[in-house]
């Protein structure tokens, strides 16, 4: 789904207030689930989660954390449930093979993660954790899973999209929160805010007041792709939770966005849809541009025929050494507690 506009409005509007009682029930159930103890994996386990339902920037943050771990000589493996996949594998868990698996089988985020490190897809996170150890990983990185508590983690990093924050501060379906904010802050070790915004500053303050670490980062578009797009008429399209972020990035790099069309999060594009988008862009004399995540859900031949430009975005941590130190300390504690 795409995040409804009323989720971000402060003060909460009529739609949010009508749904607030349901949100209170959802939040109470989620908080109770988060209070449970999960299964302890055989490997040090780091969770990259988000407070809200999609769009926080968890996958770029997971990639950034994995790169830091690799720089330390660690062998990280990602574990994901494969959000957005349409077909369940006959055998799970499985390690993503980009030559064999597409977004239908593995999910778009899993394909992006697999660029950097072994990526395991499993509906059952406990089985997936065992699989990570079997393939020789030294540390397990959970892409999401903060609220599930199926697995215990040794370090939890919550990612916050600074301009969005936590929206109207209500729980689903009245707002974007996946559990009440106090319970979520209590469950984490650190918060990572991406970009700038007063809402994220408030969250970082709450985290520090609770004794949690606070880090910041920025999203940096790929320079070569940005140079090709800048100054051109662009028709943007995406199937992501918060397309406004993509639109803002295009404008920041100097693209002349003359049209846009948004789809539901994890939308799998058909050849007919791509042809229609190509025609619509052609009428405006514009080029089609999509996110890297969307590109994973587009047939390669259809993408080439439509000459779709992809804009990858990398997360740049403002103080990577300090985050690396936090990860090192977490790994030391995790291994000491396991007698390793």
Q: Coil, strand, or helix at residue 17?
A: helix
Q: If you average pLDDT over residues 174-203, what whole number do you get? A: 92
Alpha helices (H) in the chain, listed in sequence order: 14-34, 58-71, 103-106, 108-113, 125-134, 181-187, 198-209, 223-229, 243-252, 271-283, 292-295, 300-305, 320-338
pLDDT in tens, 78-112: 999 988 887 776 689 999 999 899 998 999 999 99
Backbone angles phi, psi at 9, to 5 degrees: -80, 130
The DSSP symbol for 8 reads G
pLDDT in tens, 113-165: 999 999 999 999 999 999 999 999 999 999 999 999 899 999 999 999 999 99
CA–CA separation, 131 vs 121, rounded Å? 10
Residue-level pLDDT at 72: 96
Q: If you average pLDDT over residues 170-185, what whole number do you get? A: 97
Residue-level pLDDT at 15: 96
pTM across the whole model: 0.94
Residue-level pLDDT at 340: 67
Residue-level pLDDT at 279: 97
The DSSP symbol for 5 reads G
Higher pLDDT, 240 or 197: 240
pLDDT in tens, 303-312: 999 999 999 9
The DSSP symbol for 38 reads -
Q: Check if CATH label 3.10.100 holds for domain 5-74+138-219+316-338.
A: no
Mean pLDDT value across the chain:
94
So where are the chain's domains?
A: 5-74+138-219+316-338, 223-311
pLDDT in tens, 215-264: 999 999 999 999 999 999 999 999 999 999 999 999 999 999 999 999 99
Q: Check if CATH label 3.30.70 holds for domain 223-311.
A: no
Pairing of strands 139-143, 76-80: parallel
Domains 5-74+138-219+316-338 and 223-311 belong to one CATH topology: yes
Residue-level pLDDT at 86: 76
């Amino acid at each position: 789904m795409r995040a409804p506009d009323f989720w971000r409005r402060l003060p909460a509007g009529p739609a949010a207030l009508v749904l607030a009682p349901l949100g209170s029930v959802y939040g109470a159930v989620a908080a109770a689930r988060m209070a449970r103890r999960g299964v302890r994996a055989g490997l040090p386990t780091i969770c990259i989660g988000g407070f809200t339902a999609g769009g926080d920037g968890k996958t770029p943050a997971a990639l950034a954390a994995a790169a830091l771990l690799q720089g330390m000589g660690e062998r990280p493996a990602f574990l994901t449930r494969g959000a957005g996949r349409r077909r369940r594998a006959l055998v799970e868990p499985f390690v993503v093979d980009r030559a064999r698996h597409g977004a239908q089988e593995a999910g778009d985020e899993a394909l992006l993660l697999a660029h950097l490190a072994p990526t395991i897809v499993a509906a059952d996170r406990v089985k997936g954790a065992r699989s990570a150890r079997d393939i020789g990983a030294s540390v397990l990185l959970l892409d999401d899973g903060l609220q599930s508590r199926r697995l215990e983690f040794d370090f939890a990093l919550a990612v916050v999209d600074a301009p969005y924050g936590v929206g109207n501060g209500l729980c689903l379906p009245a707002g974007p929160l996946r559990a009440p904010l106090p319970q979520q802050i209590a469950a984490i070790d650190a918060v990572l805010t991406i970009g700038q915004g007063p809402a994220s500053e408030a969250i970082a303050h709450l985290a520090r007041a609770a004794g949690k670490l606070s880090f910041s980062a920025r999203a940096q578009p790929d320079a070569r792709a940005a140079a090709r797009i800048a100054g051109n008429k662009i028709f943007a399209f995406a199937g992501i939770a918060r397309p406004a972020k993509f639109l803002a990035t295009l404008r920041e790099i100097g693209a002349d966005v003359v049209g846009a069309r948004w789809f539901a999060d994890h939308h799998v594009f058909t050849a007919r849809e791509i042809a229609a988008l190509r025609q619509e862009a052609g009428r405006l004399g514009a080029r089609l541009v999509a996110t890297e995540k969307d590109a994973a859900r587009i047939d390669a031949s259809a993408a080439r025929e439509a000459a779709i430009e992809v804009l990858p975005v990398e997360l740049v941590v403002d103080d990577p050494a300090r985050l690396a130190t936090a990860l090192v300390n977490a790994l030391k504690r995790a291994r000491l507690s396991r007698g390793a």
